[in-house]
């Protein structure tokens, strides 16, 4: 739908409602939102947001093709990419990101992206690709590796995982396992294991799995097959399913649920602060380190990244307040600039090999 254009792609996806004709918030492709049937106030309310597109009643395939495909293809070319789903619980974030297991057609962004990656790896024969996966969950500011134990309940690493930054490497999570994958099938198996671990882990802790943020990352490395080229490119494709953004106190939560809600609200408000700062070009300092989520996503929101935000909303008029809050967040994200560049590196060992080959060729040429 768009190429590396320097701004975040912001799309709204409206979850289909049972009572389609009634109580519907109208969200037009130009970002105009109206609530036509507000019987309590008996007037039509209207709001306007900067959006890239509004998608309602689109298949998973069309959604992937229109919104995400360019980010996935960019990652194979060496550009970092992020697709992030934001919205209240029940609005369709997990359906969009992972999909439903009910039918093959309902596969979400992650399985489709994995399919595309391995199809391209087959086609792009001039390069040798290495693909790795990681799956991070952030629950109450605790980092959980969803692929640390491929059987049984995942636990936070005993040594503690840590979001770190290193020159040349950027942001990474120390202690998060990286898994090499060689085929779509192998990758899907890992995704499935991660999903199971997410569910098992949440049962063990007696919590709802939508109370955490999840970052599924495809790490790609592409090397030219010609021996005379010591350059190689790397990229990270982050597919992010954020925790429900509903406001605190709405459900009268207490105990553990209240604690979760406080953590979620805090981390999403830090995410919003980081996005506001990224969108304000006079601001030099962006507060990324305030939460694990923003720190882990530091190089994956604006800057060197092709970024797409999916704002998942419900169509019911009763949800208007949450919908407006989601759309306000989406509007702020639209102000964030991106400046993606190919992550090219030089392999010092291979450089020496290449130099030796060049020397040998030169010597041979001068001999004959
Ligand atoms: P969230 O992750 O935002 O809490 P879910 O993705 O779990 O929400 O969606 C809630 C329910 O609505 C699920 O049963 C899901 O299958 C269904 N659903 C969400 N979006 C769609 C859609 N676009 N088409 C069909 N069903 C959907
Ligand atoms: Mg969910």
**Do residues 238 and 297 touch, judged by C-beta distance below 8 A?**
yes
Choosing from 15, 89, 211, 242 the residue with most ligand 1 atoms within 8 A of its CB, the one to mutate for a pocket test is 15
Q: Is 91 in the pocket of ligand 1 (CB under 6 A)?
A: yes
Distance (Å) from CA 88 to ligand 2 centroid: 9
Which residue has its alpha carbon closest to ligand 1 atom 18? Answer: 92
Query: Given the CA of residue 60, which atom of ligand 1 is nearest to it?
Result: 23
Helix (H) or strand (E) holding 63: helix 60-63
Residue 279 pLDDT: 84
Query: Given the CA of residue 58, which atom of ligand 1 is nearest to it?
Result: 23
Q: Is 209 in the pocket of ligand 1 (CB under 6 A)?
A: no
Q: Measured between alpha carbons, how far is 247 from 244 in angstroms, rounded to an integer?
A: 9
Q: Which two tokens stand for residue 346?
A: 């030089």
Residue 250 pLDDT: 56
Choosing from 87, 95, 137 the residue with most ligand 1 atoms within 8 A of its CB, the one to mutate for a pocket test is 95
Q: Measured between alpha carbons, how far is 93 from 97 in angstroms, rounded to an integer?
A: 6
Q: Is 87 in the pocket of ligand 1 (CB under 6 A)?
A: yes
Q: Which residue has the tokens 């955490």?
A: 212
Helix (H) or strand (E) holding 320: helix 320-334
Q: What is the 3-state secondary structure (H, E, C) of 212-225?
A: CEEEEEEEEEEEEC
Cα dihedral sign for 175, 176, 179, 180? negative
Residue 280 pLDDT: 83
**Do residues 190 and 212 touch, judged by C-beta distance below 8 A?**
no
Distance (Å) from CA 81 to ligand 2 centroid: 21
Distance (Å) from CA 301 to ligand 2 centroid: 21
Q: What share of the chain is helix, strand, coil (3-state, %, to 5)?
A: 35, 25, 35
Distance (Å) from CA 90 to ligand 1 centroid: 6
Residue from 57, 14, 60 nearest 33 by CA: 14
Contacts of 206 (CB under 8 A, 6+ apart): 256
Q: Interface pTM (ipTM) of the complex?
A: 0.99
Distance (Å) from CA 170 to ligand 2 centroid: 28
Answer yes or no: is 93 a known binding residue. yes
Answer yes or no: is 307 a known binding residue. no
Residue from 212, 350, 226 nearest 292 by CA: 212
Q: Measured between alpha carbons, how far is 232 from 224 in angstroms, rounded to an integer?
A: 7
Residue 254 pLDDT: 73
**Do residues 208 and 225 touch, judged by C-beta distance below 8 A?**
no
> pLDDT tens digits, the chain, 368 residues: what are they?
444 568 899 999 999 877 655 556 677 766 677 765 554 554 667 788 878 888 888 999 999 999 999 999 999 999 999 999 999 999 999 999 999 988 999 999 999 999 999 999 999 999 999 999 999 999 989 999 999 865 444 555 556 799 999 987 889 999 999 999 999 999 999 999 999 998 887 777 667 777 899 999 999 999 988 766 778 999 999 999 999 988 766 555 678 788 888 888 899 999 989 988 888 877 788 999 999 999 999 988 888 899 999 999 998 878 888 998 999 999 889 888 888 999 988 877 766 666 676 677 677 777 76
Helix (H) or strand (E) holding 139: strand 127-139
């Amino acid at each position: 739908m768009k190429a590396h254009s320097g701004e975040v792609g912001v799309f709204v996806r409206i979850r289909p409602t049972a009572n389609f004709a009634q109580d519907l918030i109208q969200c037009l492709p130009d970002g105009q939102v109206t609530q036509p049937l507000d019987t309590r106030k008996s007037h039509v309310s209207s709001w306007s947001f900067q959006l890239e597109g509004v998608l309602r009643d689109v298949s998973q395939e069309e959604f992937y093709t229109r919104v995400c495909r360019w980010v996935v293809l960019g990652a194979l070319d060496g550009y970092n990419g992020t697709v992030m789903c934001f919205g209240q619980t029940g609005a369709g974030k997990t359906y969009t990101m992972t999909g439903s297991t009910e039918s093959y057609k309902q596969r979400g962004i992650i399985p489709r992206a994995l399919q595309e990656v391995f199809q391209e790896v087959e086609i792009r024969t001039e390069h040798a690709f290495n693909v790795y996966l990681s799956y991070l969950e952030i629950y109450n500011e605790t980092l959980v590796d969803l692929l640390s134990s491929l059987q049984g309940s995942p636990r936070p690493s005993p040594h503690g995982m840590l979001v770190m930054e290193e020159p040349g490497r950027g942001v990474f999570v120390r202690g998060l396992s990286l898994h090499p994958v060689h085929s779509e099938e192998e990758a899907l198996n890992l995704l499935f294991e991660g999903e199971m671990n997410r569910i098992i882990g949440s049962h063990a802790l007696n919590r709802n799995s939508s109370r955490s943020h999840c970052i599924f990352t495809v790490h790609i490395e592409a090397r030219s097959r010609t021996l005379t080229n010591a350059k190689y490119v790397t990229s990270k494709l982050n597919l992010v399913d954020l925790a429900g953004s509903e406001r605190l106190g709405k459900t009268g939560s207490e105990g553990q649920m209240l604690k979760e809600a406080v953590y979620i609200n805090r981390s999403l408000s830090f995410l919003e602060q980081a996005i506001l700062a990224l969108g304000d070009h006079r601001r030099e300092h962006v507060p990324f380190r305030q939460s694990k989520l923003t720190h882990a996503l530091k190089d994956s929101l604006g800057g060197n990244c092709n970024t797409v935000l999916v704002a998942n909303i419900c169509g019911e008029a009763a949800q208007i307040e949450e919908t407006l809050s989601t759309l306000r967040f989406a509007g702020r994200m639209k102000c964030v600039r991106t400046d993606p560049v190919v992550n090219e590196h030089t392999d010092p060992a291979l450089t020496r090999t290449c130099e030796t080959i060049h020397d040998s060729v030169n010597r041979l040429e001068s001999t004959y």
